[in-house]
Amino acid sequence: MMLRRLGGWALLLLVLIVATGAGYVWFESQTRIERPWPIDAAGLAIPADPAALERGEHLAVTRGCTFCHAADLGGQILTDDGFMGRVVAGNLTTGPGSALLRYDDARLVRAIRHGVGSNDRSLVVMPSESYHALSDADVGALIAYLRSVPPVERALPATRVGPGARMLIALNKAPLLTAEIVDHEAVRAPEPPEAVTAEYGAYVASMCVGCHGPDYSGGLVHGPPGTPPSIDLRPGGPLSGWDEEQFLMALRHGRRPDGSIMDPSVMPWPAFTTLTDTEARAIWAFLKTLPASP
C-alpha cells in the first residue's frame, strides 16, 4: 500500500515537472515570437531603370532569394514537420497569394535588412544577416526587381512554430527568430569599387554569413531544423590546399577537388553560377585574409 502511494506521488511530481517545463517553454517562446521590433527603415529610393532591374535580378539569384522562394519567386514550403513546425518562404510576386503585397517599400527594406515582418514581429529563418550589409543602391535594385517579376498564383500556408522549435527557441539552442540574430545597430560600410580585391570580396561574401556565420567559421548557424552544419571557410579549415580555380569550380559547379558534388539543397551552388569572375575571385581573395582556423 505504501509503495503504491509513493508511486502515485512520484507520478504526480513527474507530471507537475513536465507541465511546468512545458508551460515555461510555451511562455518564453511565445513572448519572443510576439515581441515587436519597431525599426524604422524608411527613406530608401527605389529605382526603375533597366540597369537597376538587371542588378536586382542578379542579386535575387546570387543572394539566394530564388533558392528559398523558388525559381519563379512564387514561394514554397521549405520544411513541414508535425513536431518541429512548418517554415514557408512566401510568394514574392504580386500574384494571388502574394506575401509581397503586405509590404510597402519601407517595410520591405526592414524585412530584408532586419528580418522583421509586416506585423512588426521577427521573421522565422530569414537570413537577413546576409543582407544587412547590402548598400542602399543594391537593396533598392532588389526591391525594384521583386516588384517587376511576373505574378505567380500560389497561396501558401503560414509558417508554424511547432513544440520542438519552441523548445529550441526557449533554450537558445537554434537561431530561428531572425530579428534576434541581426545586429540592428551595425554601421553599414560603403560599397567598395567592383574589383578583385579583398575589400570587394568581403562585400560579396556577406551573402555567406547566414550559413557560415559572421566569422565564416561554419557550424549550425541558420536554417530550419535538420539543417546540417556548414564548413569552416577560414584558412586552415576544409579549404586548405585548394587553389583559386578549385574554389571557383566548387562555388559555381558544386564540384569539390576530389570530384564529389555538393548537395545543392544544402549548399546553393546553382545560384552562384551567375556570379561574375570579379565577384567570385574577390570572394576567394577575401577568404584568404581571414584569421586562420584554430
Confidence of residue 200 (pLDDT cuts 50, 70, 90): very high
- Indicate if the pLDDT at residue 134 is higher than 60: yes
Alpha carbon of 175 to those of 114, 163, 172, 229: distances in Å? 14, 15, 7, 13
The identity of residue 84, as a single letter, is: M
* Separation CA 237–CA 255 (nearest Å): 18
- Indicate if the pLDDT at residue 228 is higher than 90: no
Residues 6+ apart with CB under 8 A from 207: 62, 63, 64, 130, 131
Domain ranges in the chain?
Answer: 50-181, 198-287
The identity of residue 223, as a single letter, is: G
pTM over 0.75: yes
Dump pLDDT digits (tens) for 75-132: 999 989 889 999 999 999 999 999 999 999 999 999 999 999 999 999 998 989 889 9
Confidence of residue 186 (pLDDT cuts 50, 70, 90): confident
Contact 255, 244 (CB under 8 A): no
Identify the pLDDT of residue 4.
65
Fold of 198-287: Cytochrome Bc1 Complex; Chain D, domain 2 (1.10.760)
Identify the pLDDT of residue 22.
80
Helix (H, G, I), strand (E, B), or coil: what is residue 77? strand
Three-class secondary structure assignment of 54-74 = HHHHHHHHHCCHHHHCCCCCC
* Separation CA 191–CA 179 (nearest Å): 23
Alpha carbon of 33 to those of 86, 107, 112: distances in Å? 15, 18, 18
Q: State the number of CA atoms in the 13 A half-sphere of 188 facing the CB.
A: 17
